[in-house]
Amino acid sequence: MRPSRLRATLTGVALAPILAWTLFPIYWITTASFKTELALYAKPPQWLFSPMLDNYTRVLTNIPFFQYLRNSLIVAIGTTLGSLVLGTLAGYGFARFHFRGSEAVRFLVLVTRMAPRMVLVVPYYLVMQRLGLLDTYTGLLVAYVSFALPFSIWLLIGFFIDVPLDVEEAGMIDGCSRLGVLWRIVIPIAAPGLVVAAIFAFLVSWNEFLFALILSGVEAKTLPVVIAGLNTDAGPLYGEMSAAAVMVMLPNIVMTLALQRYLVRGLSLGAVKG
Amino acid sequence: MAAGRAGRWFLLPGLMFLFAIDLIPLAYSGWVSFYNWWLIRPRDIRFVGLANYARFADDPEFTRAVVVTTVFTVGAVLVEFLAGLALALLFAQPFKFLRPIRVLLLLPLFVVPVVGATMWRVIFHPELGVLNYYLGVVGLSPVPWLSDPRMALVSITIVDAWRTIPFMFLVMYAGLEVLPAELFEAAAVDGASAWQSFRHITVPLLTYIMLLAILIRGMDAFREFDIIFVLTGGGPGTATQTMQMLNYRAFGLGHMGEANAIGIVTLIIVAGLCFILMRAVLRRPRVASP
């Protein structure tokens, strides 16, 4: 019993600073968003204070926050739907049909994700300018689907492979088409995989900054660009910036916590299963 | 397993979309990079051949950007790899509250990058920041986290590490989980020490996963943008101006030819890394599936 107790203590000692380092920034900005200006700049830093909602009311009234929120949501939901449809089809295709070079094509899909965004965004800007799609949802959406799709495909391959073949064959004998089998049998069984893929696609779009910065001007401006815009060293904006940052981060935290079980499996799957 | 042509109808929509969205802009980018092309002078676009590329050879700013990018990429990935591996080994032994703690440790990975960088900018603030305050309390002089040319890159690495150690941890943790337990048991029966079984079982079997994690992270660090943009914007001076930031600046000035040329050079470097990755992956020993 002794050595394991010793180990538990050591583990605890090792974990405490790691947890502090990981969580402190999140904790600090969250509390900052509830502080008054006086408390924000107080020295020593205030750990205990009476929380205020002033920063939130100010950020919601001073800038058209809800319009930016709507922009972010529309683009993120569109990205999710687009990459789910294309990703399901392609993931199923890779999982069930093998042809010469299919492994190479699968890697090529992943390779497209590797191109630096900055390399893509400049010509993309020129193309979108020519098509008149600058500062539109469509311009952002198409780009984001292409960012989310490779991962969706890889993730879903892993889930579709796990669906037992005989269940599918039974469906085919009962007269289902391939697409019918996918829709009625495979998708319900692989639903957790689709949930993970959906969340990832949503977050890819929700988090994206560079394309939004360059492609969206006024109309389609998304929240990360707004946050970066509030980020100045001019002190007085710290409260509002923190409040906006917390609101933008909230969906991410909720999704991560709610779906942790799937996330760990989903994230590690691509790397290990290959 | 089923073969045949039905598969193409499943694969084509996604693949065509991906290749169209990625390849058309890239081809266009290559084309534009041969032109003297200013955004504000659309009627005055001239073919200049390789002139945009030739300029890099004796442009100290470009050389500097390559150095900054390399230093940042190597430094960040090294730190993140070692920390991630240590964490993964720590979590390989079950302990109380493992699951909730693991989720908490993953959080930074899911925070909006711009928001994460914002948090750190508040913490790093020279006068108002909590970090410098407590350094003062223990008797150290305040550190100019983001305004000192040397320190700025270190600070960016700290933030990058905060954000992506969870990724390194997760990938290697997943790799450790699938290692066959019998091997370790057999080694323990034979009297191997913890270090010996790490050195002779874990490392060789985990090499593939480690390589994968390093290369994926390497490519990500190479193209880091959001954090640098929010923290320093490439400054002070050119201290943290990576190739991505230089590219952004050329774009901001409206110099499309140069911006695209920088992009193509970046792409060639990343493609080189990618090639190494693909070779490593396609030739890996099959240890993951026992």
Which residue of chain B has the CA closest to A127?
A: B25
Choose the most confident range, by mean pLDDT, from A42-56, A253-267, B104-118, B193-207. Answer: B104-118
Tell me the three state secondary structure of residue B268. helix
The three-class DSSP label of residue B255 is strand
- What is the value of pTM for the model shown? 0.87
Q: What is the DSSP letter of A185?
A: I
Task: List, for residues A122-175, the tens digit of each pLDDT value.
Answer: 899 989 998 999 999 999 999 999 999 998 998 898 888 888 888 888 888 888
Mean pLDDT, rounded, of chain B: 87
Distance (Å, whole) CA B62 – CA A123: 20
Give the pLDDT band (50/70/90) at residue B95: confident
- Considering CB atoms only, which of B15, B21, B229 is closest to A90? B15
Q: How far is A165 from chain B (nearest CA, A)?
A: 9
CB contact under 8 A, A122 and B256: yes
Residue labelled with tokens 């390789």: B50
Question: What distance in Å separates the CA atoms of residue B91 and residue A264, rounded to the nearest whole number?
Answer: 13
Confidence class for position B284, pLDDT limits 50, 70, 90:
low
Nearest Cα to Cα of residue A91 among A17, A182, A21: A182
Superfamily of A55-273 according to CATH:
MetI-like (1.10.3720.10)
d(CA A198, CA A82): 10
Does the pLDDT of residue B235 top 90, yes or no?
Answer: no
The beta-carbon neighbor of B114 closest among A150, A227, A268 is A227
Residues B189 and B196: their CA atoms lie apart, in Å, by 13
Give which of B266, B290, B288 is closest to B212, Cα–Cα.
B288
Which residues in B lie closer than 8 A to residue A109 (C-beta atoms)? Answer: 15, 18
Taking the CA of residue A195 and the nearest CA in chain B, the distance in Å comes to 16
Q: Which of the residues B11, B102, B267 would you substitute to probe the A interface, choosing the one with the greatest number of A C-beta atoms within 10 Å?
A: B11
* Residue B5 in this model has a pLDDT that exceeds 80: no
Q: Are A227 and A248 in contact (CB under 8 A)?
A: yes
b vs e for A59-92, b when ≥16 Cβ sit within 10 Å of the residue's Cβ?
Answer: bbeeeebeebbebbbbbbbbbbebbbebbbbbbb
Distance CA A257, CA A254 (A): 5
CA–CA distance, B151 with B149 (Å, rounded to integer) = 6
- Above 0.95 for ipTM, yes or no? no
Q: Which two tokens stand for residue A223?
A: 């929240």
For tokens 């090792």, name the residue.
A14
Q: Does domain B59-281 have CATH number 3.40.50.1110?
A: no
Q: Report whether pLDDT(A13) > 50.
A: yes
Lookup: tokens for A45:
């830093």
Six-digit token string for B238 = 């050119």
pLDDT tens string A45-68: 888 888 889 889 988 988 899 999
Amino acid A128: pLDDT:
92
Give the closest of A23, A44, A272 to B174, CB-based.
Answer: A272
On the 0-12 / 13-18 / 19+ scale of CB atoms within 10 A, A6 is exposed
Closest approach of chain B CAs to the CA of A219, in angstroms?
Answer: 20
pLDDT digits (tens, 9 = 90+) for B42-70: 777 888 888 889 888 889 999 999 999 99
Place of tokens 């600073």: A17
Mutate to test the interface with A, among B32, B115, B287 (most CBs of A within 10 A): B115
CB pairs under 8 A between A and B: 271
- Among residues B232, B241, B242, B118, the alpha carbon closest in space to that of A116 is found at B242
pLDDT digits (tens, 9 = 90+) for A88-109: 999 999 998 888 888 888 888 8
Using only C-alpha atoms, chain B has a radius of gyration, in whole angstroms, of 23
Structure tokens of A218? 């006024």
Q: For chain A, give the mean pLDDT.
A: 86
- What residue in A sits closest to B11 (Cα-Cα)? A90
Of residues A98, A116, A231, nearest to B266 (C-beta): A116
**What are the structural domain ranges in chain A?**
55-273
List the Cα angle B83/A201/B233 in 5-degree steps: 60
Beta strand segments in B27-114, E: 35-36, 46-47
Count of H-run helices and E-run strands, chain A: 15, 0
Nearest chain A Cα distance for residue B94, angstroms: 10
